Amino acid sequence: MPQTIVHITLVVRDYDEAINFYVNKLGFELLEDIYQVEQDKRWVVVAPPGGVGTTLLLAKASKPEQEPYVGNQTGGRVFLFLNTDDFWRDYERLRAHDITFIREPKDAEYGMVAVFEDLYGNLWDLLQLRAEHPIAARLRPR
């Protein structure tokens, strides 16, 4: 039986500023933005354009103990990995949208990679996996 990780929660400071960043700067699609009356919060889901895999659930920090995790969900390690079919196109597009790259592009054994940070400081890999990489095969349509 196939299983899929549908959402990964990303703790954010503010829904609208996070939507603005992910949609207008990274080029993600806004899939859902629904106010949930019973919990007095929003259900906000974004995904990379054309993506068919995991989505990001943007969840506003709602308790004081959650606030320190905004921008530090993995203690300073790369948190998310955004694979592309054209590294240089997307690298230049992100730079044109003032995305901060903290590690410049590198041709690694698994593919091209550069590290950028989101609006809160979470680290992301922008990468283009080599065709022979085992994960790349999982990303191809079946």
Residue ranges per structural domain of the chain: 1-64, 75-142
**pLDDT single digits (tens) 98-126:** 999 999 999 999 999 999 999 999 999 99
Q: What is the mean pLDDT of residues 57-84?
A: 95
What are the structure tokens assigned to 118, written together? Answer: 């989101």
Phi first, then psi, for residue 103 (nearest 5°) are -135, 125
Q: What is the pTM of this model?
A: 0.92
According to the model, what pLDDT value does residue 142 have?
Answer: 61
pLDDT value at 140 more than 80:
no
pLDDT value at 11 more than 70:
yes
What are the structure tokens assigned to 30, written together? Answer: 């806004």
According to the model, what pLDDT value does residue 136 have?
Answer: 86
According to the model, what pLDDT value does residue 138 have?
Answer: 80
CATH code for the part of the protein at 75-142: 3.10.180.10
pLDDT band at 75 (very low <50, low <70, confident <90, very high): very high
CA distance 42 to 107: 40
pLDDT value at 141 more than 70:
no
CATH C-level class of 1-64: alpha beta
Phi first, then psi, for residue 116 (nearest 5°) are -125, 165
pLDDT value at 84 more than 70:
yes
According to the model, what pLDDT value does residue 1 have?
Answer: 77
According to the model, what pLDDT value does residue 79 have?
Answer: 96
Contacts of residue 71, Cβ cutoff 8 Å, sequence gap at least 6: 118, 120, 121, 122
- Intrachain domains 1-64 and 75-142 with the same fold: yes
Residue 93, number of CB atoms within 10 A of its CB: 15
Tell me the residue ranges of DSSP E strands in 29-122: 29-36, 41-47, 55-60, 78-83, 100-108, 111-117
Phi-psi label, residue 128: left if phi above 0, alpha if psi -120 to 50, beta otherwise = beta
